[in-house]
A and B are shown apart, each in its own frame.
Chain A
Amino acid sequence: MTEPLVHLQHVSRVYEMGRLQVVALRDVDVAIQSGEFVAVLGPSGSGKSTLMHIVGCLDRPTSGQYTLAGTPVAALDDDRLAALRSRAIGFVFQSYNLLARTNALENVAAPLLYQGVSRRERYRRAGAALERLGLGDRVDHSPAELSGGQQQRVAIARALVTDPALILADEPTGNLASDQGAEVLSLFRELHSAGRTIVLITHDQEVAAAAGRQIHIRDGSIADGEIAA
């Protein structure tokens, strides 16, 4: 069996809040193979955001091992972590998190800036990514000039532009009307069938159903283990 793309072993995350210790994740084991479409499902406060932060290399485990694409994350400093994010992960957020006052093309091109890609190449690849998502005629629109669904598609284009190993989506349909949400989910399924690895974090059973496998998380622990669907 090949090494999983995302591999968490006995991962715990404890926050120190003054004298209080809050355990957000307790001894979590997760393995996600390349090419999988996995939904992490749990109510709010279950620790799924913490899990997403760790999987997304925005945070480090307090204890345990996390390996992303063969790289042990715990040993990395902030700069290497940023470089790993830049190379391996594309984020899609609930609130889109596009750069305001910056047009769609610049938004999509932004991750390439931190990879040192030339200006011409950045715009070429960003334009192509927007084209693929059907936003070819919206390149010079600012986020404020786009609908929620369009903004989320710009965000997905931004996540795809670096051709990352993993797409990490945090409640990507949470702010969208149901038809636009369905559109985004079918987009994820399309990407999955094209071979992308996608981790979708949600509290919504219906949304989670779009994924090939579900991981249930409750009170900082994996509820029903890591059962392949």
Chain B
Amino acid sequence: MSIVELVRLALSRIGSSRLRAALTMLGVIIGVASVVALVAVGQGATSGITARLQGLGTNLLTVNPGSSTQGFTRGAAGTATSLTADDANAIAALNGVAAVEPEISSQQLVAAGSLNSTTSIVGTTADYATVRAFTIWQGSFLTPATVDAGVSVAVLGATTADDLGLGASAIGTQVTIGGLPFQVVGILQAKGSSGPFSQDDQVLIPMATARHYFVQGDTIRSIGVSVATPDQMDLVKAEIQTTLEQRHGIAAGGTDDFTITDQAQLLSTVSAVTTTLTILLAGIASISLVVGGIGIMNIMLVSVHERTREIGIRKAIGARGRDVLAQFLIEALTLSLLGGMVGIVLGVAVSALIGAVAGWGFVFNPITPLVAVLFSLLVGVVFGVWPARQAARLDPIVALRYE
């Protein structure tokens, strides 16, 4: 018997008991749909997080002060006041460093007309946009000239501008920061991040200006370093470490009073975590696929029992054991495959919906449905073989007598 004949037989059988077939397939449908949807959710989350991290700046190294120690009490990381503008200049002079931006910051009230917002005021240099991968939406960024002159100009983050009711027409107008007048020269393109540490909610002003009005002393909060090419990351990181250790008088192998954070490292850690989560989700979803398979086996066993007489007749008129085996196996496979296809459509729809709600868009990986279909076929074979063997082994005499 050819496969075509067997599939035709299976389809006509499924067609003659549609409700039962639909209920049997439901298990596989839910299983496949949840595998497809959850894997898509995992991959969507991964690509969303990765995109956001890459948005922080490519080839980025961040140097932060270490923890301060007062008496015997060690403070939190970043509390030390060990980094200076000279450190930033020394790093800028290293090989493989494309750009450097030192930052200092202060929380201040920003006001425009009747609207105001308390946000982070960052004093930095013209390289900030390059290192942190910001693009300007309106106006212009801080220029080396304005930074050196220490004039009162400000570049607003997208969220901050929004909060203050400022649009494209705000370029050239005045806002007050901590009660002092600043001229708005530019508004940044939004990066789309949100939450309390949003990169879109800040105001950038020249380093010297911030130092003059808001931040005392000569220490800096962090130094962002953009490395020329990705393969130089480790080299530059080592160079920065050596340079700063020398400048701070720390013996090699001693406790550093600064930390260097590698963007790529963070990225690979995050993607390792999300990959594990995706596998976990897929694993949990697979359980429902197995349960669906058991549903198919259950129905096929009932079906073999109900159709004992049919099996006897078929054997009497010339069906071999393997013909009966093939008939029941193909029937189970057809059920699981049909269920798998419906499941894929459902899963893709659900993942598109979740993607739209969560905001990472529609992530479609053609591998997932392929794997899901193969898996549902496997389920059909694994859970279809046993009932089919039961059918094939029936003694025709016993089967014909069966009522």
Contact = CB atoms under 8 A, between A and B. Distances in A.
Interface of A: 53, 56, 58-59, 78-79, 82-83, 85-87, 91, 93, 97-101, 110-111, 113-116, 119, 158, 162
Contact of A111 (B309, B310, B318, B322): B318
Given A58-B315, A82-B319, A110-B317, 20 more contacts: A59-B397, A78-B320, A79-B322, A82-B315, A82-B318, A85-B315, A85-B317, A85-B318, A91-B316, A93-B400, A97-B312, A98-B313, A100-B310, A110-B314, A111-B317, A111-B318, A114-B1, A114-B320, A158-B317, A162-B318
Nearest to B13: A101
B175 to A, nearest CB: 81
Contact of A114 (B16, B310, B312, B318): B318
Interface string B292-322: 0000000000000000011011111111111
Contacts of B16: 101
Contacts of A114: 1, 314, 317-320, 323
Interface of B: 1-2, 5, 16, 309-310, 312-323, 396-397, 400
Contacts of B322: 79
B397 A53 contact: yes
Contacts of A58: 315-316, 396-397, 400
A80 B323 CA distance: 13
Contacts, number: 62
13 contacts: A58-B316, A59-B397, A79-B320, A82-B318, A82-B321, A85-B315, A85-B316, A86-B318, A87-B318, A97-B400, A111-B318, A114-B323, A116-B2
Nearest to B323: A114
Contacts of B323: 82, 114
Contacts of B396: 58
Nearest to A115: B318
Contacts of B1: 113-114, 116
A92 B44 CA distance: 64
A100 B12 CA distance: 13
Contacts of A86: 317-319
A56 B318 CA distance: 11
Contact of B321 (A78, A87, A110, A162): A78
A85 B319 CA distance: 9
Given A59-B397, A113-B5, A116-B1, A97 B320 contact: no
B377 to A, nearest CB: 24
For B2, B5, B317, B323, the residue with the greatest tally of chain A CB atoms inside 10 Å of its CB is B317
Contacts of A56: 316
A183 B188 CA distance: 97
B402 to A, nearest CB: 11
Contacts of B321: 78-79, 82
B78 to A, nearest CB: 77
Contact of B316 (A79, A97, A115): A97
Please list the 10 inter-chain residue pairs (A to B) with the smallest Cβ-Cβ separation, ordered nearest first.
Answer: A86-B318, A114-B318, A82-B320, A111-B317, A79-B320, A97-B313, A58-B396, A114-B319, A58-B397, A85-B318
Nearest to B6: A113
A125 to B, nearest CB: 14
